[in-house]
Amino acid sequence: MNARSSVTPADVGKRVSFQYELPNGYVGEALGILESYDHPAETYLVRTKDGALVRVPARGVRFGKVVPSAPSREAS
């Protein structure tokens, strides 16, 4: 597998997007705020907009990027 990821542990607090694969073959996606990086487990912790915490294994990342902040909506 040829992983392409521009996300690093230094991106904590930024909005990120991942596509990843678990050892059992499950492919998942995560979009949210990077809360932390667990160095011993080599895992990104992403908080989604519904409040769930998703653990993304760094070795299983197929694609990862920092997403630009969503434009703010101004009241009309």
Which residues is 61 bridged to in the sheet? 20
Q: What is the mean pLDDT of residues 42-61?
A: 95
DSSP class per residue in 29-61: EEEEEEEEEETTTTEEEEE-TTS-EEEEEGGGE
pTM, entire model: 0.82
The pLDDT assigned to 65 comes to 96
Has residue 17 been placed in a domain?
yes
Which residue has 């197929």 as its token pair?
62
Q: What is the mean pLDDT of residues 39-66?
A: 95
Domain containing residue 18: CATH number: 2.30.30.100
Has residue 20 been placed in a domain?
yes
Has residue 32 been placed in a domain?
yes
Judged against a pLDDT cut of 80, whether residue 75 lies above it is answered with no
**Range of the structural domain that residue 11 is part of:** 4-66
Judged against a pLDDT cut of 70, whether residue 61 lies above it is answered with yes
How many domains does the structure of the chain reveal? 1
The pLDDT assigned to 58 comes to 93
Has residue 8 been placed in a domain?
yes
